[in-house]
Amino acid sequence: MQKLTLLLLLFISLNVTAQQTETLYLSGTGLGDTKTWDFYCSDGMNSNKWSKIEVPSQWELQGFGEYSYGRWYTIKGGKPSTETGLYRTMFRIPSNWKEKQVTIVFEGVMTDTEVHVNGTLAGEMHQGGFNRFTYDITDKIKPGKNNLEVKVSKESADRLVNAAERKADWWIFGGIYRPVYLEAKPTVNIHRIAVDAKADGSLYADLFTTPLEEGFTLNARIVPVKLYGIEKNATFTEQTTSLGAGSEHAVRFQWDDAEPWNTETPNLYNLELELVDGNNKVVHQHTQRIGFRTVEFRPQDGLYVNGTKVVLKGINRHSFHPDGGRTTNKEISLMDGKLIKEMHINAVRFHYAPDTHFLDVCDSLGIFVVNELAGWQNAYGTEIGSKLVKSLVTRDVNHPSIILWSNGNEGGFNHELNPLYRKHDPQKRHVIHAWADFDNLDTHHYPTYLTGVARFNNGYKVFMPTEFMHGMYDQGHGAGLEDFWKRYSSHPLFAGGFMWDFSDNAVKRTDKGGILDSDGSNGSDGILGPYRQKEGSYYSVREVWAPIQIEPFFVTPSFNGNFIVRNDYLFSNLESCRMAFRVLNAPSPLSKDRRQQVIASGEVALPAIDPREAGKAIME
């Protein structure tokens, strides 16, 4: 009887596994977790010989090739490095994958990439260094040992890709710098899903599957995600909908009690789907993390989330670390997300598709995202750009933190790509052109104090500079933020802004004894140092953008312990906050004993006021 029970449990376990998507990493997962592949580099350091390299990585950080900064064109006679790398590794296919559909996934490779599996070309060459790409290799693999060869060209064969990505104000690296893995699914499966989950609990989704016959159904349930040690015991009814024949399906569900996502209460749910055939057999299970929230851009008004007009206290951020270049990891993303929240920053923008684990952090901590297609000051051509827009949007469409798409930066706009964002996004989020006055949203970069005044006084567009307060050598950011912010935020058309930028982009030079190199003043623009050291602006930004603002007052003999506070949260009443006070003595600077002692302390009773309201706080 015991043997029969064990066999039954084993059968159930194998059956469940057969219905799920399985993942097999061929590389490591990021900085500090890598796998060793064979490698050949054509030029520069350690070139013209077969060696070993850690994957994922930028090959310069591994001692190969040549370092280049993207402003090479400003140097007389300057040229970018153009080496090519050849990678080889072996992998084994699990025996239970025999009847599976197998896909190889590359999260990021710089720049042109050709993939061979067992000597056979996996598909057309991928061009573009910041976007995920995949190949169906079901018919190219065999049981047991398989060989993978990847040829990577640092400079693209397409001049517009180089202009968009590698003629830019950032380090231009080479290599397989994000993870590589295999995905195995049942032959009948859910390919992907794109959701529009609104604050009222309604959910619409575009569902993409392998071609289905009539008779399939889809089961759906949502399960609250446990965050910050908070246990949510809510249960939600499973719902079922019929699917028609074909591979593209529109489905709708409603969960009235779903709690909305916002930056102050980032409620998340796992959407669990089951694809069921005509015999009532579950053939594939798919899970997608989502948040219920409604995003609207209202011309001549502002940006709204869940019906609340929001002001974005933003920062620009590169996917970057001194020890890995653009190879990072989940721990770095979480560290950066926490630092962003500590400074009371509620929004972040990128110049290209970020690591998915950073978007996961934005979802879970509550940080708005402006997600941008690369194109620093030059645009992709339409053919390649169309593929990259699809890759960007379909990869990131379900992140509730994303509230805007950006089709390039500072002139890197291909207008033919604009409709594609809406094509792949059922939420139809607004598309901006960073630095342009486009589609009723003015994102002018580095406005002076008076530029902002003129725009408000003479214009009628929503104003949101996607870059301002440039922080070279920490001269911007907190140094001028308070004056600008008071002036700009007093106008109803102001939707926020994004400072430049989060951290200094100094990379470890393996060719120069490990020194940190920011290419002079080009990469030294951060609020934080390269290893996230807190500079002066960290503290000033944290104060200027604090969500509870205290009206200035003097402590005089007539002070009675009452003072005025303003609620600068977007969604929270101050009744959910706690404030305490301490009074310390102030020894003379001439005294030998300068230790401070607490002479009084207590709680502050905060008024129960909504966002943008002021009220009286009382020291108890």
- CA dist 495 and 430 (Å) reads 14
Element housing 384 (H / E): helix 382-396
Q: Which of 44-58, 454-468, 523-537 has the lowest mean pLDDT?
A: 454-468
Pairing of strands 462-463, 441-442: parallel
Q: What is the pLDDT of residues 558-589, one digit of tens each?
A: 999 999 999 999 999 999 999 999 999 988 88
**Is the pLDDT score of 6 beyond 80?**
no
DSSP code of residue 576: G
- CA dist 50 and 58 (Å) reads 17
Mean pLDDT of the chain: 94
- CA dist 309 and 300 (Å) reads 12
The CATH code that applies to domain 18-186 is 2.60.120.260
Q: Where residue 455 falls among pLDDT bands split at 50, 70, 90?
A: confident
- CA dist 598 and 369 (Å) reads 42
Q: Where residue 473 falls among pLDDT bands split at 50, 70, 90?
A: confident
Q: Where residue 232 falls among pLDDT bands split at 50, 70, 90?
A: low
- List the 402-409 sheet strands across, edge first: 431-434, 402-409, 368-372, 347-349, 312-316, 496-499
Residue 121 neighbours by CB under 8 Å, 6+ apart: 114, 115
Over residues 349-369, the mean pLDDT reads 98
Q: Please, is 443 exposed, middle or buried when counting C-beta atoms within 10 Å of its C-beta (0-12, 13-18, 19+)?
A: buried
Topology given in CATH for the domain delimited by 190-290: Immunoglobulin-like (2.60.40)
Taking the CA of residue 24 as centre, how many other CA atoms within 13 Å lie in the half-sphere pointing to its CB? 16
Over residues 42-68, the mean pLDDT reads 98
Q: What is the pLDDT of residues 290-344, one digit of tens each?
A: 999 999 999 999 999 999 999 999 999 999 999 999 999 999 999 999 999 999 9
**Is the pLDDT score of 535 beyond 70?**
yes
Position 7 scores a pLDDT of 46
- pTM for this entry: 0.95
Kindly report the three-state secondary structure assignment for every residue of 409-439: ECCCCCHHHHHHHHHHCCCCCCEEEECCEEC
Q: Where residue 28 falls among pLDDT bands split at 50, 70, 90?
A: very high
Q: Where residue 10 falls among pLDDT bands split at 50, 70, 90?
A: very low
- Helical pair 356-365 and 330-342, crossing angle rounded to 10 deg: 40
**Is the pLDDT score of 4 beyond 60?**
no
Backbone angles phi, psi at 479, to 5 degrees: -60, -35
Q: Where residue 9 falls among pLDDT bands split at 50, 70, 90?
A: very low
Q: Where residue 466 falls among pLDDT bands split at 50, 70, 90?
A: very high
Report helix, strand or coil for 146.
Answer: strand
Q: What is the pLDDT of residues 85-98, one digit of tens each?
A: 999 999 999 999 99
| Closest residue by Cα to residue 364 from 478, 471, 460, 268 | 268
- CA dist 117 and 26 (Å) reads 13
Please identify which residue in the block is written with the tokens 């930056």: 263
Pairing of strands 144-153, 112-117: antiparallel
Position 16 scores a pLDDT of 53
Report helix, strand or coil for 91.
Answer: strand
- Express the helix, strand and coil content of the chain in percent, nearest 5 each: 20, 35, 45
Q: Any idea where the domains of the chain sit in the sequence?
A: 18-186, 190-290, 308-544, 548-619
Pairing of strands 496-499, 312-316: parallel
Q: What is the pLDDT of residues 496-513, one digit of tens each?
A: 999 999 999 999 999 999
Cβ-contact 318, 502 below 8 angstroms: yes
Over residues 79-89, the mean pLDDT reads 97
Report which residue type is found at 535: E
Which two tokens mark 410? 């500072």
Residue 529 neighbours by CB under 8 Å, 6+ apart: 503, 504, 535
Q: Please, is 480 exposed, middle or buried when counting C-beta atoms within 10 Å of its C-beta (0-12, 13-18, 19+)?
A: middle
Over residues 512-532, the mean pLDDT reads 95
Q: Which CATH number fits domain 308-544: 3.40.50.12280, 3.20.20.80, 3.40.50.720, 3.30.465.10?
A: 3.20.20.80
Q: Residue 346: left (phi > 0), alpha (psi -120 to 50), or beta?
A: alpha
| Closest residue by Cα to residue 401 from 314, 290, 320 | 290
Q: Which residues of 218-245 are buried (b: 16+ CB within 10 A; e: fewer)?
A: bebbbbbbeeeeeeeeeebeebeeebee
Q: Which of 32-41, 230-239, 552-561 has the lowest mean pLDDT?
A: 230-239
Q: What is the pLDDT of residues 112-139, one digit of tens each?
A: 999 999 999 999 999 999 999 999 999 9
Q: What percent of the chain has pLDDT over 90?
A: 90
Q: Where residue 228 falls among pLDDT bands split at 50, 70, 90?
A: low
Q: Please, is 391 exposed, middle or buried when counting C-beta atoms within 10 Å of its C-beta (0-12, 13-18, 19+)?
A: buried
Q: Where residue 17 falls among pLDDT bands split at 50, 70, 90?
A: low
- Residue ranges in 46-194 assigned as alpha helix (H): 159-165
**Is the pLDDT score of 73 beyond 60?**
yes
